Structure 1
Amino acid sequence: MQALVIVAHGSHLNPDASTPTYEHADTVRAAGVFDEVRTAFWKEEPSFREVLRTIESEEVYVVPLFISEGYFTEQVIPRELRLDDWDVAEWDSDGTSATHTTLAAGDVEKTVHYCGPVGTHDAMSDVIVRRAETVTDDPDVGPGFGLAVVGHGTERNENSAKAIEYHAERIGEMGRFDEVKALFMDEDPEIDDVTDFFESDDIVVVPLFVADGYHTQEDIPEDMGLTDDYRTGWETPAEVDGHRIWYAGAVGTEALTADVIIERAADAGADVGNAIEEIRRRTRVAGADGASVGD
């Protein structure tokens, strides 16, 4: 038997923070390739510390629904899961290249295949593109458009910016969009000045966040000038400084994110059958041909 555990931050204050986690778990569960699918949270129940005790399978694949490598993926989650012999050096990572490591959770006698975060997997580039397709309702969106991939950015975790820059570079290499830029909330180049960085009349803005919350639904729309008050909402697209801004909301709310979760587990050795292809087919924007960044 094999089990999948999706671990996420959650929130005591924002009831929507855990919604994408539950939705992706349901999508994976429906694919039928894992005997058990569980979710666990830092700020909600069930907790990281207890989740392994709810599982019967001896082989467990743990996938962090986090954007970047850092404090939670390298310290909190391994500690709370009580993974024997965990050492961050196991990743041998440059900040975006953590894949997986296999460890024992001795107190529950299970083998845990601990995976890198969803946000740094190559397939997340596909999800960002899919977000652009979804918000424009155009499976061929790209020509004539700029794409802004937005992250928080923080001096406390240099890997936060690396994940944003990594996907912006990968998507830029596709040649699909006229321009692709990595922008940030708390470091340069800042999302406040989004129109200064693009010549394209149309700009799709995709925040690389797991869930919609304070930053994606309040800060970023106001910072970009979509609205003076987030409580009054905004148009999509919205006219800002002679450009049309198509604001997509958090990338982690895109249904295709479930594919990335499964791909993380597959990279660690899980038997996922044809679930990857099936989820890509089921979550496709109407009319899309299914081509991905990696194709």
Structure 2
Amino acid sequence: MHAHSQAQALVIVAHGSHLNPDASNPTYAHADTIRDAGAFDEVREAFWKEEPHFREVIRTLESEEIYVVPLFISEGYFTEQVIPRELRLEEWDPERWDSDGTDASQATLEATDVGKRVHYCGPVGTHNAMSDVIVQRAESVTGDSDVGDGFGLAVVGHGTERNANSAKAIEYHADRIRETGRFDEVQALFMDEEPEVDDVTDFFESDDVVVVPLFVADGYHTQEDIPEDMGLTDDYRTGWDVPATVDGTRIWYAGAVGTEALMADVVLERAADAGADVDAAIDEVRERTGGTSTETESERHVTGD
């Protein structure tokens, strides 16, 4: 089944939640997609706030080559401190990533207590392929594979109250998507700092604005705070319209980017950048999740128009 001689494993590490039972759903969904593509001998999910926990996961693997991909948006406390410590990657130092906040790629380390080689990858949120997932999220929420003309796009993040790199990740993708010229306007907006998502309509001239939160999973930020802050609804429990009209602007609110199926591709791209033998799987996953490889462009979105 595998062309490569050494068994390779993928570990997807995510935050999880004690409070929100849906927090881990995207992690399991993307792991299943990757499992089905057959690139790895083993695929495991591990969490900080749920079982199976970070601490045990490497000990459950038989493979010698292990690729660890953090399902996190930005480089920061979790990716630089918590995960390497819990996985017992003793030679780890954030300098190994040689990053200014958005360009971590990978570091090859030894998990000393089990003698396995671990390729510790940068978070999914700063990979270039995330820009494609944000655009695909806009396609999904509008039902239009060509969405862009006459539309603004807001990429929303938490903001720097927590970590300076969190804003960098948001701005990075907003800049990349703006450069493509696909949308009339692209803005990075935040929950906790200026420019604030509360004032979303102030930052756009377009009549239609797609709002995509750069979060891994849907939780209270994306399902309660942001819809209420933007004025889509007075009470998140009653839901909101898509699109909802606020101050004369149609707001297409997409929910967390991490629930988009194409996220599985970003996880694989991270592993590929670290040397994993996954090219065939990447092609298969892109085809299955409607990714941006050219041969599937014309075949997509034939339904639902």
Q: Same fold (TM over 0.5)?
A: yes
- 1:230 aligned partner, one-letter code: Y
Q: How does 1:107-186 map to 2 (within 5 A)?
A: 107-186=113-192
Can you give the 5+ residue segments of structure 1 that lack an aligned partner in the other structure? Answer: none
TM value normalised by structure 2: 0.93
From 2, 9, 13, give the equivalent of 2:19. Answer: 13
- 1:72 aligned partner, one-letter code: F
Q: Deviation per CA, 1:84-126, whole angstroms, max 9, x where unpaired?
A: 2111111110100000000000101100000000000000000
From 237, 246, 250, give the equivalent of 1:240. Answer: 246
Asked whether the 8 Å contact 2:272–2:279 carries over to 1, the reply is no
Alpha-carbon distance in structure 2 between the residues aligned to 1:146 and 1:261: 27
Asked whether the 8 Å contact 1:61–1:265 carries over to 2, the reply is yes
Pairs aligned (count): 290
Displacement of 1:262 in angstroms is: 0.2
Alpha-carbon distance in structure 2 between the residues aligned to 1:125 and 1:235: 25
Pairing 1:32–2:38 present: yes
Residue aligned with 2:170, SS: helix
Residue aligned with 1:274, SS: helix
TM value normalised by structure 1: 0.97
Displacement of 1:278 in angstroms is: 1.6
Asked whether the 8 Å contact 1:281–1:290 carries over to 2, the reply is no
Q: Kindly tell me: are residues 194 and 276 of structure 1, through their superposed partners in 2, closer, same or farther at Cα, counting changes over 3 Å? A: same
Alpha-carbon distance in structure 2 between the residues aligned to 1:47 and 1:37: 14
Asked whether the 8 Å contact 1:90–1:101 carries over to 2, the reply is yes
Q: How does 1:96-107 map to 2 (within 5 A)?
A: 96-107=102-113
Alpha-carbon distance in structure 1 between the residues aligned to 2:298 and 2:88: 44
Q: Which residue of 2 aligns with 1:45?
A: 51
Q: Kindly tell me: are residues 288 and 246 of structure 1, through their superposed partners in 2, closer, same or farther at Cα, counting changes over 3 Å? A: farther
From 271, 282, 285, give the equivalent of 2:277. Answer: 271
Alpha-carbon distance in structure 2 between the residues aligned to 1:104 and 1:199: 52
RMSD: 1.2
Residue aligned with 1:246, SS: strand
Displacement of 1:290 in angstroms is: 8.3
Greater shift, 1-10 or 81-90, is seen at 81-90
Q: Which residue of 2 aligns with 1:89?
A: 95
